[in-house]
Amino acid sequence: MDWNEKIKLKINSEMKKPKKRFGRKNEELLEAAKNGRTETVELLIQHGADVNVRDKNVKHEKGWTPLMKASRYGHTETAKLLIENGADINATGENGQTALMNVAINGCTKLVELLIKKGAEVDAKNKLGETALLWATRNGHTNIVKLLIKKGADVHAKKYNGMTILMKATRKGPMEIVELLIRKGANVNAKNKFGDTALMIASSNGNIKIAKLLIKKGANVNARDYFGGTALMEAVRDGHTETVELLIKTGAGIICAYGNEKARETINKMKREKPELFSKEQKLILDLYSNPGNISKDRRGEVIEVLRESQKKGSISKTEALELFRNLQRARNKNIDIKSNEMRKPREKLDKNKVKKVIQ
């Protein structure tokens, strides 16, 4: 006996009970829609099941309608039948999730086309600020990303924490989505609420191809989060050697990472084995940090100029520049008067351990 026959028997049995009148028809509809049993869905609708009933039992599907369930599991024919019988295209679950967001997760392009054609809002957001485009990007569904953008989806949309769609794409790609988002105007230097950029995320995950593309498209290699972290620090911390080499070669500030012992070892090893990666200015700054006594007196003007230019580029902060200059001063055992307008003390940094949270 197949599922439809079981449902028919149940309906016949319950219809003989005037007080109950098949009381579980709505629950059966939710289950049938979730499993793509289109004939069963049709049968239940014919006997009065509510196409916009809400799930009250399944924890992660609270408030979902039959259409939302059919969409989440990619059942196009079932979804089509529900829509034809009055299902609300833009109904939202308890967390604000919509049918379009759900199908963007599973990757059924045909169903996305159907929902948009029937009036689904492409830029609707759930309670976390996530859109269908963000979900499609996060799950690597290139065709759906293309379709949503073609239908007007906002490539600049952000989650509640400032996480952009481009940032999501840089975690694991694919490259085609990253390229498409940038081509459509996504800001490569946008920051989330903690100051993280797409390049920092790509560097942390060792996605060197994506990192190269971001740099080529204007990503700031010396951007800092609100705790002083940089893309280089992320790459060093997570052991992505190739990404570290790329960032150094493209002018990333080195001293910011020197406070970490592992970073010092990694960078010093690279300096010994691949000196060609480092510019003349980077080598001088490393000497100011590690061997200030080896810098001759007649290079004082060069040192000041390099520190000033490095500050302008953002590869060192004013605090770091001041400390490097003091290193040189201490090495010579002289009191050099530094004008206040040359190097100013910056604002006190936030406590990273108290403020920063993990971003999903």
Q: Over the stretch 299-330, which tens digit does the pLDDT of each residue have?
A: 888 998 999 999 988 888 888 888 888 888 88
Q: Over the stretch 93-130, which tens digit does the pLDDT of each residue have?
A: 999 999 999 999 999 999 999 999 999 999 999 999 99
Distance CA 31, CA 245 (A): 53
Is pLDDT above 90 for 257? Answer: no
Choose which CATH entry (3.40.50.1370, 1.20.120.330, 3.30.530.20, 1.25.40.20) describes domain 155-278. Answer: 1.25.40.20
Instruction: Kindly state the average pLDDT of the residues 343-349.
Output: 39
Distance CA 127, CA 221 (A): 33
288 with 324: CB under 8 angstroms?
A: yes
Model confidence, pTM: 0.83
Identify the CATH class of 1-153: mainly alpha
Distances (CA, A) of 114 to 54, 66, 96, 98, 102: 22, 16, 20, 14, 13
The pLDDT of residue 21: 46
The pLDDT of residue 1: 54
Q: Over the stretch 42-79, which tens digit does the pLDDT of each residue have?
A: 999 999 999 999 999 888 899 999 999 999 999 999 99
Is pLDDT above 80 for 340? Answer: no
Which distant-in-sequence residues (6+ apart) come within 8 Å of 289 by Cβ?
255, 258, 324, 327
Domain boundaries, the chain: 1-153, 155-278, 282-345
The pLDDT of residue 8: 57
From first CA to last CA, the distance across the chain in angstroms is: 46
The pLDDT of residue 11: 56
Is pLDDT above 80 for 205? Answer: yes
How sure is the predictor about 231, in pLDDT bands with cuts at 50, 70 and 90?
very high
Is pLDDT above 70 for 283? Answer: yes
- Nearest Cα neighbor of 123 from 131, 115, 114, 112 is 131
The answer to whether domain 1-153 and domain 155-278 are alike in fold is: yes
Task: Tell me what the pLDDT averaged over the chain comes to.
Answer: 86
Of 20-29, 92-101, 124-133, 219-228, which range is least confident? 20-29
Is pLDDT above 90 for 173? Answer: no
